[in-house]
Amino acid sequence: MSYLIIDTDIGVDDAYAVKLAVLSGELLGVTTTYGNASVVQTTKNAKLALKTWQKNFKVYRGASRPLVIKPPVNDGHIHGIDGLGACYENNESPDADDAIHFIVECARKYKGEVTLLTIGPLTNLALALNIEPNLPNLLKGVISMGGAFGRDGHTGNMTHFAEFNIFADPHAAEEVCSAPFNLTLIPLDITHQVLIDEKDIASYHDEFLSNISKFYLDFSEKYEKFRGMCVHDALTAVYYKHPEFFEVTKSPIAVSTEGITFGQTHRIISSYASIPFDIFKDRPVHNIILNGDVKAIKEYMCQEMNKEN
């Protein structure tokens, strides 16, 4: 058997990923974290999305702040002040069972069968690892949207070096990348290649996704001069079902937790045979997705989003 858990700071592009996870037919539950909004708000958002889609999945509430640093400031300029395009009144309760224990309990119960999609800061996964050090052997895999490695100039969207999910909690990201998870990282290098426009969104025939996307599209049109959006998080759910659409680069991953490169993800790019101070020594090798078949990814998203129509 295969099962999914999706860990989200549900924001607009997260909602596309959550919808695909729901459509996978393998979803066990949704865990929430701070990130695009507070964890109180993202828990409410996850419940609102699932209720709108008439899907009865449980939502579990996770971390309210990073392991070490202060939480990111949510000014709402991309996802709206509520994280979902500020277009729905959300009366859902923020109360929920604990996300960290849910992840660990599922991993123990379904040993080797659960894949965790993370589409926000990695705090929940790091906390779960602290509770259960054997988690990398219990989970089938982790597919994580985050990071940036500089391909075609995609180096960061929070600083010149750092992508938001990693920047929000680099200590958690460093703990996760140092652990022997079957980890696939989906960074800006590929997510910036997959842009959808209003026509693509309309082709999904999902009123909720269309409505919450308007705010993000307005932002893109104003600042990026393009009325469209990167569906960063959705690529985790696409990779889960169709890894063949993506090119895998194998490398250990290190994360800067201080200095001007704070929040930057690093892979081995030098070809030196021996390095005196090898920061990658003894680190596990992970999968990094730097490229993929954009046409196949977009065609699959449209087909999957219409599966139940």
Q: Say whether residue 82 binds ligand RIB (CB under 6 A).
A: no
Contacted entry of ligand RIB, Ca ion, none for residue 163, CB cut-off 5 to 8 Å set by kind: ligand RIB
Geometric angle at alpha carbon 176, from 236 and 258, rounded to 5°: 110
Please work out the total of residues on this chain that contact ligand RIB, with binding judged by CB under 6 A: 15
The answer to whether the CB of 59 falls within 8 A of the CB of 96 is yes
The 8-class DSSP code of residue 67 comes to: S
Contacted entry of ligand RIB, Ca ion, none for residue 157, CB cut-off 5 to 8 Å set by kind: ligand RIB
Q: Choose the stretch contacting ligand RIB; rule: CB under 6 A; options: 7-15, 95-103, 125-133, 296-304.
A: 7-15
DSSP letters along 205-262, please?
A: T-HHHHHHHHHHHHHHHHHTS-SEEE-TTHHHHHHHH-GGGEEEEEE--EE--SSTTT
Catalytic residue among 101, 154, 171, 232: 232
Q: Say whether residue 206 binds ligand RIB (CB under 6 A).
A: no
Query: How many helical (H) and strand (E) elements, i.e. helices and strands, does the chain have?
Result: 12, 13
The answer to whether the CB of 222 falls within 8 A of the CB of 178 is no
Is 232 among the catalytic positions?
A: yes
Nearer to Ca ion, 230 or 253 (CB): 230
Pattern 207-246, ligand RIB, x by CB under 6 A: -------------------------xx-------------
Nearest approach, Cβ of residue 67 and Ca ion (Å): 18
Nearer to ligand RIB, 164 or 246 (CB): 164
Which of 48, 119, 125, 238 lies at the binding interface for ligand RIB (CB under 6 A)? 119
Give rounded-to-5 percent helix, strand, coil for the chain: 40, 15, 45
Nearest C-alpha neighbor of 103 from the set 76, 71, 137, 129 = 129
Which of 24, 33, 36, 287 lies at the binding interface for ligand RIB (CB under 6 A)? 36
How far is the CA of 153 from the CAs of 127, 156, 173, 193, 221, in angstroms? Answer: 32, 9, 22, 12, 21
**Which residues ranging from 136 to 175 are in contact with ligand RIB (CB under 6 A)?**
145, 157, 163-165
Binding site for ligand RIB (CB under 6 A): 9, 11, 13-14, 35-36, 119-120, 145, 157, 163-165, 232-233
Active site residues: 232
